[in-house]
Homo-oligomer: A and B are copies of this chain.
Amino acid sequence: MAKVWLVGAGPGAPDLLTLRAARLIERADVLFYDALVHPDTIALARHAEKIPVGKRCGRHSTAQTFINKRLVDAASRHELVVRLKGGDPMLFGRAQEEIDALARAGIEVEVVPGITAALAASASLGVSLTRRALSRSVTFVTPRIGENEPSSNWVRPVLAADTAVIYMGAGQADAISSALIENGMRPSTPVALVESASLPEESHRFGTLAGLVALAASTGAGPVVIVLGEVLREQLAPSLATLGQTEKKMAA
């Protein structure tokens, strides 16, 4: 019986792969992989046919329905098919479309979780996303702007949570900061941008929501997560603490 494994490749660093994922990749007959999977991770597949199906920011894109079809085809020709996805497959990975397509074709699917970028970013920053008496909730969200979708779909959960992590948002920093501030988020909310979390070229930028656009403009071509919330305040520069006090005085 053929089986397709949807496997999380983690945030980037090859040693942030799980033991289970590593063993599956080593045994795979065919390996489909996303654009952001590390070459060393792909190289673990010793005898697999390796097929890039990367999608990233529209630069190089294989349509999702075509990926689904290729997975079904591969399962009819191979015993162990691994579909390797950046981060965790079940967060912003369009995994459900692949699971459903395989299920409709009567093919067994199993999912192996991976370290998602938000948790890698939190580890690198040394800042816990939750924190006693300060943050009891964390939201992961990705905004779609200008697609006939109300901004409330992504703004509300960001405003409601104590800590928020925005995936795939750096390119839309202007619309994001405008929408959040218009809807009541304080411009002095601490912000961290983590680019290429867990990789040697990882970089961090700290500031406030008011300065998000400039922070985002200074990032490079790596994937970026935007972290927002009071858990970050102590990590920020003294200038920010001053800013926070100024705002408190203004509000008083």
A interface residue numbers (CB < 8 A to B): 8, 10-11, 13-20, 22-23, 88-97, 99, 109, 111-116, 119-120, 122-124, 126-132, 136-144, 153-154, 156-162, 231
Known: A136-B154, A138-B140. A123 touches B112 (CB 8 A): yes
**Cβ B136 vs Cβ A119 within 8 A:** no
**Cβ A99 vs Cβ B126 within 8 A:** yes
**Cβ A128 vs Cβ B142 within 8 A:** no
Known: A138-B139, A161-B139. A18 touches B90 (CB 8 A): no
Docked CA distance A119–B162 (Å): 20
Closest partner residue, chain B, to A156 (CB atom):
B160
Number of copies: 2
**Cβ B113 vs Cβ A113 within 8 A:** no
**Cβ B132 vs Cβ A94 within 8 A:** yes
Besides the known contacts A11-B113, A93-B130, 8 further A-B residue pairs in the complex with CB atoms under 8 A apart: A19-B22, A91-B130, A112-B123, A113-B115, A137-B142, A137-B157, A138-B139, A157-B162
Known: A19-B15, A19-B22. A137 touches B131 (CB 8 A): no
**Cβ B141 vs Cβ A136 within 8 A:** yes
Closest partner residue, chain B, to A153 (CB atom):
B136
Closest partner residue, chain B, to A88 (CB atom):
B119
Docked CA distance A115–B90 (Å): 12
Docked CA distance A137–B143 (Å): 9
Closest partner residue, chain B, to A13 (CB atom):
B20
Which residue of the partner chain, among B8, B19, B124, B130, contacts A17 with CB atoms under 8 Å? B19
Known: A89-B128, A111-B126, A128-B90. A19 touches B16 (CB 8 A): yes
Q: How far apart are A103's CB and chain B's nearest CB, in angstroms?
A: 8
Q: How far apart are A230's CB and chain B's nearest CB, in angstroms?
A: 12
Q: How far apart are A84's CB and chain B's nearest CB, in angstroms?
A: 14
Instruction: Show 26 residue pairs from A and B whose CB-CB distance is below 8 angstroms, ordered by the A residue.
Output: A10-B18, A13-B20, A14-B19, A15-B18, A15-B19, A16-B19, A16-B112, A16-B113, A19-B22, A88-B119, A89-B123, A90-B129, A90-B130, A91-B130, A96-B127, A97-B132, A111-B124, A113-B115, A113-B120, A113-B123, A130-B140, A130-B142, A137-B140, A137-B157, A138-B140, A153-B162
